[in-house]
Amino acid sequence: MEVVFLSSEVVPFAKTGGLADVGRALPDALAEAGLKVNVFMPLYGTVETKKSGIKKIKTLKLSLGAKKYVYEICGKKEKGVSFYFIKQKTFFDREGIYGSSLGDYPDNAGRFIFFQKAALHSLKSLKIKADVIHLNDWQTALVPKFISKKSCLPTVLTVHNLAYQGEYDAKLARYAGLKKSELLYGSRFNCLAYGISNASAVTTVSPAYAKEMKTKKFGCGLEDFLKKRGQYFKGILNGLDYSLWNPQSDPAIAASYSASSPEGKDKCKKALQKEMDLPQTDAMLVSFVGRLAMQKGMDILVPALQKLISGKIQFVMLGTGDAYYHRVLTALAKRFPKNFALRLDFDNDLAHRIYAGSDLFLMPSQYEPCGLGQMIAFSYGAVPVVNKTGGLMDTVSEYSPVKKTGTGFLLRDYSASALEQALRKAMSIYAAPGSFRELSVRCMRQRFSWKRSALKYIRLYQKLISESVVAARRIQGEK
């Protein structure tokens, strides 16, 4: 089986969020399961082509609207996956992926329409015979429009975050060759809505989020489109790449450890306290790594932190985000230097050391399609404290000190007081000898393998392929 996989970001070439990790790990897992996998992404100006060994393959021409554009296909092969890059100066040779400090690029619709068309256009010259095309998010959601109906080529669209839909002025629809009647949002055209309605199947990144997406509260206006897809819409949980996130073999951390010999974790905590200029005491160390934004729960995290900060607790936060939270958190860190260390930065190695050195990991997201942080935290034995939503709900279960079951702490509702209460419960367990280490070790034993997720996608591909064969026969019969 041969898959063409389209993603606007792929690790290590370009990343703004979790999509990039999936854009890498899922193709790897599919290839390991024996599939032929071709990944396509735009070649942004920031991709380090020389360092990554990306080479030019071909120059081609493609029209978009009334204009003809020259573009190059570049590529490289890694671990059995072929990566292809669409290089086009006007659209992609820029510093940003989606925008600059001034905001989103105004021509994003055109940029990604070009990307989708070029990826499909280049398949023939690359001699790729796809059995299925796997799309990710709005940037690739118009592909069902661009493949001929006759080919009956099945498409799977994975939604990583329903809030980002690619909704544009109807004028732009002409690039996509969409008619007025196909504009799904009155006078606006909505890329994600189009893909949700027209891909052969739609998936999202956890079963719980799939359910939430069909409600008014989480549906972002697309709930009815999703409900209509019936059994062709489902959630498949993401996995974690344990070759990157494993305290037993992590070169970035102070000491290695594992569930069967967890002692090294104490060293990692001491080293982290030292690095962050926090007193090297045995206070419970709580961390947050991620975007400092409302979606990630900042509006409840900040007040809960303010309440607890002077106690026997230490906080470490790493990330960047909204200017407002930068200000508030910087002021707090200045006031409580012994309890709160803040790094307004994007630092992958430091993130590793924070996971390894923390007792508790905070992820009180308002909504979370899947979430990667809690899975990483598990792997490093940092016990997750999460809101009961999406992938967080599918991966973390409430700890019971009596039954000695569960893997973390869930908020009773989305509020600062619920977060404070969950942290107080964690603190009391932390204070009781023995139980916390046992809980932390149970976390380390959790496994969310990409292999399992990949097999679910393969089953879905197989089903769609066999249905498309039937459809193709029908079309031929009609002739």
Contacts to ligand GLC by CB under 6 A: 17-19, 22, 160-161, 205, 238, 368-372, 391
Residue with tokens 């002025």: 169
Residue whose CB is less far from ligand GLC, 178 or 292: 292
Residue whose CB is less far from ligand GLC, 20 or 73: 20
Nearest-approach distance from CB 300 to ligand GLC, in angstroms: 18
443 CB-near residues (< 8 Å, 6+ apart) = 377, 378, 381, 382, 383, 384, 407, 408
Nearest CA among 197, 205, 239 for reference residue 29: 239
Residue whose CB is less far from ligand GLC, 15 or 188: 15
Nearest CA among 50, 83, 202 for reference residue 137: 202
Residue whose CB is less far from ligand GLC, 16 or 125: 16
Nearest-approach distance from CB 234 to ligand GLC, in angstroms: 14
Nearest-approach distance from CB 392 to ligand GLC, in angstroms: 9
What stretches of 79-154 adopt beta strand conformation (E)? 81-87, 99-100, 103-104, 132-136
* Dihedral sign from CA coordinates of 61, 64, 69, 73: negative
Nearest-approach distance from CB 95 to ligand GLC, in angstroms: 21
Nearest-approach distance from CB 380 to ligand GLC, in angstroms: 17
Contact assessment for residue 426 and residue 345, using Cβ atoms and an 8 Å cutoff: no
Nearest-approach distance from CB 273 to ligand GLC, in angstroms: 29
**Residue 282 and residue 312: Cα distance in Å, rounded?**
9
Measured between alpha carbons, how far is residue 133 from residues 103, 302, 369, 458 in Å? 31, 42, 22, 12
Residue whose CB is less far from ligand GLC, 19 or 141: 19
Nearest-approach distance from CB 161 to ligand GLC, in angstroms: 4
Angle at 31 between CA 199 and CA 150, to 5 degrees: 30
Nearest-approach distance from CB 134 to ligand GLC, in angstroms: 13
Residue-wise DSSP of 382-446? PEEEE-SSHHHHHH--B-BTTTTB-SBEE-SSSSHHHHHHHHHHHHHHHHSTTHHHHHHHHHHH-
Residue whose CB is less far from ligand GLC, 332 or 458: 458
Residue whose CB is less far from ligand GLC, 142 or 372: 372
The amino acid that residue 129 corresponds to is: K
**Residue 285 and residue 359: Cα distance in Å, rounded?**
5
Residue whose CB is less far from ligand GLC, 176 or 370: 370
Residue whose CB is less far from ligand GLC, 113 or 363: 363
Other C-beta atoms lying within 10 Å of the C-beta of residue 400: 9
Residue whose CB is less far from ligand GLC, 14 or 284: 14
Residue-wise DSSP of 152-192? ---EEEEES-TT---EEEGGGHHHHT--GGG-SBTTEEEHH
Nearest CA among 366, 406, 471 for reference residue 153: 471
List, in sequence order, every residue forming a beta bridge with 37; answer none if it has no partner: 3, 81
What does DSSP assign to residue 204? E
Nearest CA among 284, 285, 338, 295 for reference residue 319: 295
378: three-class secondary structure by DSSP = helix
Residue whose CB is less far from ligand GLC, 42 or 371: 371
**Residue 238 and residue 449: Cα distance in Å, rounded?**
8
Residue whose CB is less far from ligand GLC, 240 or 350: 240
Nearest-approach distance from CB 19 to ligand GLC, in angstroms: 5
Nearest-approach distance from CB 389 to ligand GLC, in angstroms: 10
Nearest-approach distance from CB 339 to ligand GLC, in angstroms: 29
Nearest-approach distance from CB 163 to ligand GLC, in angstroms: 8
Helices (H) and strands (E) in the chain, counts: 18, 19
Nearest-approach distance from CB 171 to ligand GLC, in angstroms: 29
Residue nearest to ligand GLC (CB): 18
**Residue 384 and residue 407: Cα distance in Å, rounded?**
8
Residue whose CB is less far from ligand GLC, 189 or 448: 448
